[in-house]
Amino acid sequence: MDWSFITKTWDKWAPSNVGSSGQPLRAALLLNYDPTGPSRLLSTILKCEGMKADPVQLRQFVDFVNRGKLQMETFFIGPNQYMITSIHENWFSARCMDTLAPVGEGAIVMQTAAFILVALYVGSVGAGSRAVVVADQLAVQLSCRNL
């Protein structure tokens, strides 16, 4: 894993896409992920912006992804519970079931060969579309290096 490339790519991507009002994402999280590796190996939080990530809770999220029962279960990121709304080849989207935001919240989860990217956004369809675009930009950059 090319740690300097990951850091440089994240540090270039995150400030313009994650955080304050007007940016497409409320928070983003990058986990290393090897679905073929031994189950005793834990995924590691590589990068996190806009939220506090709990490694124990994220282990439950990775287990959820590994089970592959996306349409039958819900998952938690932080204090919020999410339900899958759309499944695609290497990503899925979900809506927050217990948000306090009047316009709602959602999550875009993208998988690459070595990572899981979680992109959280506030809003509905338009905000979700923007979240997919910016999450995909990072996923493509990371995939170009075969990471």
Mean pLDDT per 10-residue interval, the chain, length 147 residues: 89 93 92 72 83 86 89 91 94 92 92 93 93 96 75
Residue 76 CB neighbour total at 10 angstroms: 16
Taking all residues of the chain, what is their mean pLDDT, rounded to a whole number? 89
Predicted pLDDT of residue 42: 64
pTM: 0.91
Predicted pLDDT of residue 1: 65
Structure tokens at 85: 């709304």
Question: Percent of the chain scored above 90 by pLDDT?
Answer: 59
